[in-house]
Structure formats: C-alpha cells, structure tokens
Structure 1
C-alpha cells in the first residue's frame, strides 16, 4: 500500500514538473518581437515581450501606433503565461485584456468578446505573410485541370465592407459555377486563399508544388487559379 502511494506521488510530482517545464519553455520562446493583428492584418501592432519582471507578470513594449490601430491595447501593461499554454496580455491589475493559445507553430489566436479573433505572430513570419499578400494582388485566370480558362479575376488591396477582407472582382463572361458563386472578397488565412461571396459562401484554394492555387478539396476536374 505504501509502495503504491509512493508511486502515485512520484507520478504526480513528475507531472507537475513537466507542466512547470512546459510553461517555462513557452515563456522563453515568447521573448522577442511579435505582431498583434486582426486576422488578416488590416490592422497591426508590434509588441515586444521582455523577460524582465513587472508588478503583474513581465514587461512589454507596444509601438506608438498600437493605440490607434487596436484601441484595446491601451489597457495592456504586462504579459505572462497562464497554465501550460495560455499567453496572456494583461492590464495593470493583472486581469486579462486578451488570452492567446497557439494554433500553429508560432501563431497564436485570441478572442475578444464582441470584437472577434486577433492573431499574435512572430514579427518576421508576419512580415513574410505581408509580402505574400502583396504578391497576390492583381489579375488571375481560373482554369480547369486541362488548362481551359473559365473566368478572369482581379484581387485588390482595397478593404472590403467585411473586416479583414479585401475586394475581388470577376471579369465578364465567367462560366459556371464561378459565375453563380460570384465572389466579391478575398483574404489569405493560414496559408490558404479564401474567395468569399456576398452570401458568405467561401471557396478555399491551396498552393501546390507548381505555384498554382487549387480549389480544396481537390476533384477529378480541378479548379485552378493562375497568375496572368
């Protein structure tokens, strides 16, 4: 009986040690510059997370434009890690302004009630994404797998009426089903291109090894976007 209790106690101590190690590792990994933004970077803010202790967590710096781009950042005074995997940006009292959890390597998501989702991403990676978005702007051709064109499309950097989306325009004489879909907005999301219709219907395209964008899920007669 005593031996079993000793084993159980050992397992609990080991689990506690692993949890502390996970939180400690996350704290170390978060030190540096991050971009805080809306989901598709229409509004951005650079946050520098520091290892120095603050009254409620650790110190950070927000670039001056943060308060204008994202007004809620005016309340942020420190950062910390809660539990195993929650990165918290908090106010001077230690209350959460926004909590982030990692959804992909180096990409964290946080939700603010009545506002929506925000992204915290390594600054270098975020700026690489911005370059990718710039490369998407312009004229595209939609073709079938055999290369037959069925529609022309222009992606712009004009902000659409829906937050974090940009305006898209179909060219005349598009064939079905693109003409019926009639997208008016686009955005990049986690490496995929999303085309969005006024109804809210969304088509997802993913880049392939040939620098093309193929509609997902793939099919026997794929729809492919090619740069014109």
Structure 2
C-alpha cells in the first residue's frame, strides 16, 4: 500500500505555525484553502487574497460553494481578529464563521446548530482525499507473527457526521469479533475504528506501510491491505 499522510511537513511548509502573531498569520493565510465539513463530504475552495476592500480582505469562493455549504453565500471578505482568529465575514464585517488553528495548517470553526467545519491548506486536503480513497477496500487483521485473524472492508459509505461504514467478514477471531467495529475514519495521522458502543481502536501507520494498533503490544495487532 502506498500511503502518504496528508499533513506531511513538506506539504504544509507554507502553512501558518502555531503561536505566530496576527501580522504573520494574515500573511501566511494568503492562498488557497479548503473549507469543509469534518468528514469532507461537503467541500468548498476558498482563495484568500491580501487586497483590502471596504468589506475586509478580498476572497474568492468557487462557484458551487453555496450549493455545498449554504452559509457561504453570506461570506464577502475575510480578516484576522485578535491574534489568532481567521474570520470569514459578511460585507458588514459580521462573522459568518471564525476559525482558530488546532494544528499547523488546520483550522476549526463552529456554527451554532450545524457543528464543526474545517479550513485547511488545499494541497494537504487533496492529499488527504487521495489517502482516504486508498484506504477503501478489503483489509486483513494480523498478529505480529503474520497470522491473519480477521478480514474486513472499509467503505466510503457515510455512517454519521464524521465516520464511514466498516464491515467484518465471517470467522473473525474473538478479539475482533467481540469488539464489533462498525465505523472508521482518518484523524490526524491515525486510523480510528469504532464499535457500536463508541469504543475506539487507534492504528498508526508504521515504516512498513502498514497500520499498527496503539498502544503497541508484545503481540501487535496489524492492519494490512489484502
């Protein structure tokens, strides 16, 4: 499996760094960004520019933004508020949504009654989409000695606001069968699997392009592409 994590440092070399001041943040935000729901089922490309207008700093939204994310029809400009808030605002300067940086090049904002939205470097977002596409399909769960104990399928079928459906195949080892994973997602360098009760298993990609359950164990649990 060829897998390159979306948030590699090379991709985010030009992304803003945590702890910078407002002037640095404003400068680093100029460029193309993806505005999306947390699971990226709805996306919009936003181009932030440095040109000043009576409404704020200039921005451009791709034509289908309002169809994907209806609230974007109210966005006329952008600006930096305080030291670290990236505001997408109306022509009057009122906030449509405010973002704060949670990770280098990744910002989160909340709209009341709607939930969390993500603003991230466009190149990184597209790399993530490619990476997620590569995850779809059949996988084997194996122990450290290479013995396969279960097979499962990761799908791109939405299973809620953030997750996608996961299906176990018959004759799984009790370790996996009793956990009963139902959903999955990629989140900040990890593959997460969730049981019906909401319990999570965490997997991290290792140097051998495979996913290892964390925390690591003497007899590890490894996820391999079939």
The TM-score normalised by the length of structure 1 is: 0.87
Alignment pair present for 1:96 and 2:90: no
In structure 1, the residue matched to 2:179 is 181
Shift of 1:80: 0.5
Q: Give me the whole-angstrom Cα distance separating, in 1, the residues matched to 2:70 and 2:124.
A: 24
Q: Counterpart of 1:45?
A: 44
Paired residue for 2:206?
208
Structure 1 residue corresponding to 2:193, chosen from 178, 192, 195: 195
1:70 matches 2:69: yes
3-state SS, counterpart of residue 87 of structure 2: strand
CA deviation after TM superposition for structure 1 residue 81, in Å: 0.7
Q: 1:1-228 residue pairs with structure 2 within 5 A? A: 22-160=21-159, 162-228=160-226
Q: Which stretches in structure 1 are left out of the alignment for 5+ residues? A: 1-20
RMSD, matched Cα: 1.3
Q: Secondary structure at the match of 1:52?
A: strand
Quick one: higher RCO (CA 8 Å, sep 6+), 1 or 2? 2
TM-score by length of 2: 0.87
Q: Which runs of 5+ in 2 are unaligned?
A: 1-19
Structure 1 CA distance for aligned equivalents of residues 221 and 68 of structure 2: 37
Distance (Å, rounded) in 2 between the aligned partners of 1:181 and 1:53: 55
Aligned residue for 2:150, secondary structure, equals strand
| Whole-angstrom CA distance in 2 between matches of 1:203 and 1:55 | 50
Structure with larger Rg: 1
Residues matched between the structures, number: 207
1:194 Cα deviation (Å)?
A: 1.1
Give the drift of 1:221. 2.0
Q: Secondary structure at the match of 2:134?
A: helix
- Quote the offset at 1:55 in angstroms: 2.2
The runs of 4+ residues in structure 1 deviating greater than 3 Å are none
1:54 Cα shift?
2.3
C-alpha contact (below 8 Å) 1:40/1:189 kept by paired residues: no
- Asked whether the equivalents of residues 77 and 91 of structure 1 are also in contact (C-alpha less than 8 Å), the reply is yes
Contact preservation (8 Å) 1:195, 1:203? yes
How far 1:96 sits from its partner (Å)? 1.3
Distance 2:92 2:195 in 1: 43
Contact 1:38 / 1:117 at 8 angstroms: preserved in 2?
yes
Higher helix share: 1
Q: Distance in 2 between matches of 1:108 and 1:188?
A: 17
